[in-house]
């Protein structure tokens, strides 16, 4: 919080009035979010803003439905003060998971509650058809909540995404290269549009819901059809140049020569070992039924886990995370994969070094990513530096 207040003071000298107001609103909302229920006096004390500023901003936010007044707090003297808490569904966000065969939407409110979910098959994966499909399903679901203001659409998809420019730089799953998808959706809808990788959207949701992650260094790895990674630095997602952070799926652990062929055109990529696509392809090549529970398949899942464990150890030595979160899609044979991943991480990390970071495994269905995307947009309301970035 201290750092955020410093940011505000810095910007106060250079920023416009509207910008400062937006930042102060984010500060106030964030204090209320963290407290659950609080008073204006408490907000004044935590933020360092003047009582007049806090009164002005909170009245505006109550008017907009972003805050609601609840019980009356009776002090030992003076006028009784009203307690305030976050509003519910006055403002909502649409989180979308876009995959090659479906569009999945989750409407979320300010508190992170899911108001509705809907899935539709995607008829065609070309960018224009996908943009049409996203706007169509969001419009239908949002229309069922006419009293709520839709803040915008946040879209999560598999690939390397330049969030700031709204460009999908590469998506193997969708077959896209340098597609300005953010702009395409924006042209078809009214509100704000954000696009990001599946794993970054998921991580944004984690941070919103788990206060414990607020100041931590964590690597989040998602294992689904493709591999993805998100780097959490002091509780904020580090996206790297042009959104390239976390794009480790097509790196190789050893010689590429004679490696398994990859959908990127190369061979020997980590993707061919540890993604669901890679492991299922290997099962096929070996003539093993792709049933994740089959005993004959176990070796492939174990190899995939072990290769990923080594890759995580390499990344962890470079980045120094306190924790690694492994997000496994339901297609992964979790027990075999996770066990060998953990074993490889621990032994590889210990090679001339200290103790490996803790590995936490989360099993995630596809709706989790749509929800995460929705939370991602809601998070903007609480984050002063994002407001500053516009």
> Please, what is the minimum distance in Å from the beta carbon of residue 131 to Zn ion?
27
Q: Cβ closer to Zn ion: 107 or 312? A: 312
Nearer Cβ to Zn ion (239/250): 250
Angle at 117 between CA 116 and CA 121, to 5 degrees: 150
Query: Are 278 and 226 in contact, with CB atoms under 8 Å apart?
Result: no
- Rounded to the nearest angstrom, the gap between the alpha carbon of residue 383 and the centroid of all alpha carbons in its chain is 14
360 is an interface residue for Zn ion by CB under 5 A = no
Using CA of residue 127, residue 128, residue 133, residue 135, what is the dihedral sign?
Answer: positive
Residue 273: partners with Cβ closer than 8 Å, 6 or more residues away: 253, 260, 279, 282, 303, 304, 307, 308
Q: Is 371 in the site for Zn ion (CB under 5 A)?
A: no
Span of 78-86, 174-182, 258-266, 372-380 interacting with Zn ion by CB under 5 A: 258-266
Question: Judged by CB under 5 A, does residue 266 bind Zn ion?
Answer: yes
Q: Which one of 137-145, 231-239, 256-264, 290-298 is the stretch in contact with Zn ion (CB under 5 A)?
A: 256-264
Among 1, 72, 124, 264, binds Zn ion (CB under 5 A): 264
**Contact pick of 92, 133, 269, 378 for Zn ion (by CB under 5 A):** 269
Residue with smaller CB distance to Zn ion, 49 or 262: 262
In the complex, the smallest distance separating the C-beta of residue 22 from Zn ion, rounded to whole angstroms, is 41
Distance CA 298, CA 309 (A): 16
- Looking at the Cβ atoms of 42 and 271, the one nearer to Zn ion is 271
Q: Does 225 bind Zn ion (CB under 5 A)?
A: no
- Number of residues interacting with Zn ion: please give it, by CB under 5 A: 6
- State which residue, 314 or 347, has the beta carbon closest to Zn ion: 314
DSSP 187-204: HHSSSEEEEEEHHHHHHH
The yes or no reply on residue 232 touching Zn ion (CB under 5 A) is: no
What is the 8-class DSSP label of residue 123?
S
Whichever of 47 and 275 has its CB closer to Zn ion, that residue is: 275
CB of 264 to Zn ion, least distance (A): 3
Least distance to Zn ion, CB of residue 274, Å = 12
Q: State the minimum distance, in angstroms, from the CB of residue 133 to Zn ion.
A: 27
User: How do beta strands 102-109 and 114-121 pair?
Assistant: antiparallel
- Interface pick for Zn ion out of 155, 207, 262, 387 (rule CB under 5 A): 262
- Distance CA(151)–CA(375), nearest Å, equals 12
Tell me whether residue 33 or residue 250 sits nearer to Zn ion (CB atom).
250
Q: How far apart are the first and last CA of the chain?
A: 20
191 binds Zn ion (CB under 5 A): no
- How many angstroms separate the CA atoms of 84 and 38, rounded? 5
Map the footprint of Zn ion across residues 234-253, applying CB under 5 A: 250
CB 104 within 8 A of CB 389: no
Burial 349-365 (b: 16+ CB within 10 A, else e): beeeeeebbebebeebe
Please identify, using beta-carbon distances, which residue of 51 and 175 lies nearer to Zn ion.
175
The residues facing 177 across adjacent strands are: 170
Residue ranges that bind Zn ion, judged by CB under 5 A: 250, 262, 264, 266, 269, 271
């Amino acid at each position: 919080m201290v750092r955020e207040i410093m940011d505000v003071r810095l910007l106060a000298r250079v920023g416009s009035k509207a910008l400062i107001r937006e930042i102060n609103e984010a500060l106030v909302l964030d204090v209320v979010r963290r407290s659950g229920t609080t008073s204006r006096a408490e907000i004044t004390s935590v933020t360092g803003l003047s009582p007049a500023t806090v009164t002005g901003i909170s009245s505006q936010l109550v008017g907009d439905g972003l805050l609601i007044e609840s019980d009356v707090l009776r002090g030992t003297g003076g006028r009784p003060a009203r307690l305030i808490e976050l509003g519910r569904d006055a403002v909502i966000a649409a989180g979308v998971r876009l995959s090659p065969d479906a569009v999945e939407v989750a409407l979320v409110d300010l508190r992170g509650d899911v108001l509705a979910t809907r899935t539709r098959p995607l008829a065609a994966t070309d960018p224009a058809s996908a943009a049409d499909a996203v706007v169509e399903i969001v419009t239908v679901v949002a229309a069922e909540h006419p009293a709520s203001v839709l803040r915008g659409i946040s879209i999560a998809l598999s690939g390397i995404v330049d969030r700031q420019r709204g460009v999908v730089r590469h998506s193997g799953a969708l077959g896209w290269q340098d597609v300005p998808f953010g702009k395409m959706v924006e042209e078809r809808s009214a509100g704000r549009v954000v696009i990001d990788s599946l794993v970054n959207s998921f991580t944004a949701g984690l941070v919103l819901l788990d206060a414990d992650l607020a100041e931590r260094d964590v690597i989040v790895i998602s294992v689904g059809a493709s591999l993805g990674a998100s780097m959490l630095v002091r509780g904020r997602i580090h996206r790297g140049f042009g959104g390239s952070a976390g794009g480790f799926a097509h790196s190789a652990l050893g010689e590429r020569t004679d490696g398994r062929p990859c959908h990127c055109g190369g061979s020997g990529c980590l993707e061919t070992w540890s993604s669901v696509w890679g492991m299922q392809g290997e099962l096929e090549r070996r003539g093993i039924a792709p049933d994740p529970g089959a005993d004959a398949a176990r070796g492939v899942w174990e190899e995939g886990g072990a290769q990923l464990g080594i890759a995580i150890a390499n990344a962890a030595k470079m980045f120094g995370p306190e924790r690694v979160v492994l997000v496994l899609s339901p297609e992964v044979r979790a027990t075999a994969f996770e066990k060998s991943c953990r074993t490889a991480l621990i032994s590889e990390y210990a090679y001339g070094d200290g103790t490996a970071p803790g590995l936490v495994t989360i099993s995630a269905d596809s709706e989790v990513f749509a929800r995460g995307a929705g939370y991602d947009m809601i998070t903007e309301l609480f984050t002063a530096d994002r407001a500053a970035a516009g």
